[in-house]
Amino acid sequence: MEDSIPVAVVVIDTVHRVILDSVTLDALKNSQEFYDSAFKDLQGSFMCFATLISILIALLVAITVAIVYINFSVVIAKYKEELKQEKEQEKESFKSIMATEFSTEIEKIKTNSYFIDTRDMQTYRTVKIGSQVWMAENLNYCGENDSIGTYYNDSHVNGKKYGRLYTWEQVKKACPNGWHLPTNEEWQNLISFVGGNNIAGEKLKSKFDWKNSGTDEFFFSALPGGLYFSPKSKFICIGEKGVWWSTTEINDTKIFSRGIDCNGNYVFEGDEPKNNLLSIRCIKD
């Protein structure tokens, strides 16, 4: 009887241990399943969160693209409108310029007339400025047998555009009948009428052929024919300066002249050696 008690105790302990191990194993299994389930749930939540973030990013990109497109469309529309306005302004400006040029040419036709030099049948445009009538071109008379005047650098091309250059002795017989070489006073009367020495150059210069052209407001069309400078024995300043004789003597060797420079709006008074060669503008008697 006493021997059977320990056996029973061992059996009970063994059964207890088996039951305990079984319960622990089930608990462990249940715990693992719980963690697996929780991980899967967490993984699913993360995937949902990642998907939501992707959707939000895509939405932000779409909104940004839409804003950029709208702004770009606004900029393009504004540019087209500005371009349209600019073209309209250019069109109106061109119309205005053409209208001004046309009216200027009409006025030029009304103001100008023409004179034929019967000595060589050359025609000169003339213009009335104030009470004076001037030739609106440089004289190009060569005399009998090409005896007076010369072309700048002996070039006929220059002569056709700028006329001839003459010495003081040659100018005395250069102007045709009914016309004469202006005095220094007559030059000054012209200059004063068009606004004075400081601005007359711009108003008397032609619109072409100068490096800095004038307005030719009175259709005098002064040209930069240059000159022959005798102290250095060379032609100078074509395209830059026009210098014209007067009849007024300073002394035995020098004469008053009037000139216009390409770099200024003024008319200057010069003292020219009599053997220089200058242009001529004749004035009507």
**How long, in residues, is the chain?**
285
Instruction: Output 236 or 5, whichever has higher pLDDT.
Output: 236
Strand partners, 166: 278
Q: Is 214 left (phi over 0), alpha (psi -120 to 50) or beta?
A: beta
* Residue whose C-alpha is closest to residue 160's, from 144, 180, 174, 142: 142
Instruction: Output 56 or 49, whichever has higher pLDDT.
Output: 56
According to the model, what pLDDT value does residue 4 have?
A: 45
Q: Taking the domains of the chain in order of start, what are their residue ranges?
A: 1-82, 118-284
Regarding beta strands 179-180 and 283-284, do their DSSP bridges make them parallel or antiparallel, or are they unpaired? antiparallel
Instruction: Output 53 or 100, whichever has higher pLDDT.
Output: 53
- CA 94 → CA 83, 98, 105, 214, distances in Å? 16, 6, 16, 20
User: Taking each helix axis from N to C terminus, what angle separates 197-204 and 184-193, rounded to the nearest 10 degrees?
Assistant: 80
Lowest mean pLDDT among 110-119, 129-138, 245-254, 273-282: 110-119
Span 50-72, mean pLDDT? Answer: 82
According to the model, what pLDDT value does residue 40 have?
A: 67
pLDDT (tens digit per residue) in 134-171: 999 999 999 998 999 999 999 999 999 999 999 999 99
According to the model, what pLDDT value does residue 68 have?
A: 82
Instruction: Output 103 or 144, whichever has higher pLDDT.
Output: 144
CA distance 219 to 266: 17
Residue type, 221: S
pTM given for the model: 0.63
CA distance 136 to 281: 8
